[in-house]
Amino acid sequence: MSFFKHESIEINAGLLIALTMVVISIGGLVEIVPLFYIKDTIEKVEGVRPYSPLELRGRDIYQREGCYLCHSQMIRPFRDEMLRYGHYSLAAESQYDHPFQWGSKRTGPDLARVGGKYSNEWHVAHMINPRDVVPESIMPSYPWLMENELQYADVADRMRALKKAGVPYSETREEYQANVEKFGQEAADKLNILAAEQYLVAEAQAGNFDGDRSRLTEMDALVAYLQVLGTMVDFSQYEEGHFVEFR
């Protein structure tokens, strides 16, 4: 077929683009698509829920500031990583992340299980000037997080957008009930789009993540997000080797 001769592809830009896309999509079809159908991809595990409205805003700020460029959120199943960071990451733990924050570069440490590791005060001091708490740190300072008021008027829309991507935030009574059954009452309240704004304010006031009760800052949201990372699964519930069964 002269149509597919080297020369005719090379001199015909439209054909070259079309065939390039065909070749690339074969890689995607073979490597990615089967994962949607293979049963064991996402481990069956208790406790993983979508982010609360405040945590979600924190995650947006995490992305806005480009934290993922230096911090991964993916503990690989190696002995040295386990000794340093804890249990390896599960696919189930990022099932509600769109996009996931696995990252591919560790200039700073992995953050997949940073939740609960440091106090809120530490995070606040560390964001304002990392050198105050870690003298050898090369992380940039993010002082504006403490100055900027948190914008949360659009948090319901942000949740609706994620809902379209398959994250089970609830809008109707049925969806809410389904969440109660799946995640429990406490978590279902966090996922209710209709009460998102009130819940966000209440969570920030109760948690007082930035140490300043008079204001709701971006620091509140980011620290709330960091403090929940990797804490949803209680690994003591599962026998050693449980998660090997899923591979």
Selected range binding other proteins among 46-54, 77-85, 161-169, 171-179, rule: CB under 8 A: 77-85
Residue 192 carries which DSSP code?
A: B
* HSE value, Cβ hemisphere, 13 Å, CA-based, for 203: 27
Closest to other proteins by CB, 18 or 134: 134
Residue 26 makes contact with other proteins by CB under 8 A: no
Residue 34 makes contact with other proteins by CB under 8 A: yes
Rounding to the nearest 10 degrees, give the CA dihedral for residues 166, 100, 110, 231. Answer: 0
Distance, in Å, from the CA atom of 50 to the CA atom of 177, rounded to the nearest integer, reads 15
Query: What number of chain residues touch other proteins (CB under 8 A)?
Result: 40
Residue 118 makes contact with other proteins by CB under 8 A: yes
Residue 37 makes contact with other proteins by CB under 8 A: yes
- As given in the structure block, the two tokens for residue 224 are 């709330």
Tokens 């996009």 correspond to 99
The length of the chain, given as a count of residues: 247
Least distance (Å) between residue 99 CB and other proteins: 23
Residue 121 makes contact with other proteins by CB under 8 A: yes
- As given in the structure block, the two tokens for residue 146 are 């403490």
Print the binding letters for residues 81-100 with other proteins: x by CB under 8 A, - otherwise.
Answer: -xxxxx-x------------
CA-nearest of 71, 115, 117 to 229 is 115
- Residues lying near other proteins in the complex (CB under 8 A) are found at 7, 30, 34-35, 37-40, 76-79, 82-86, 88, 116-122, 125-126, 132-136, 211, 236, 239-241, 243-244, 247
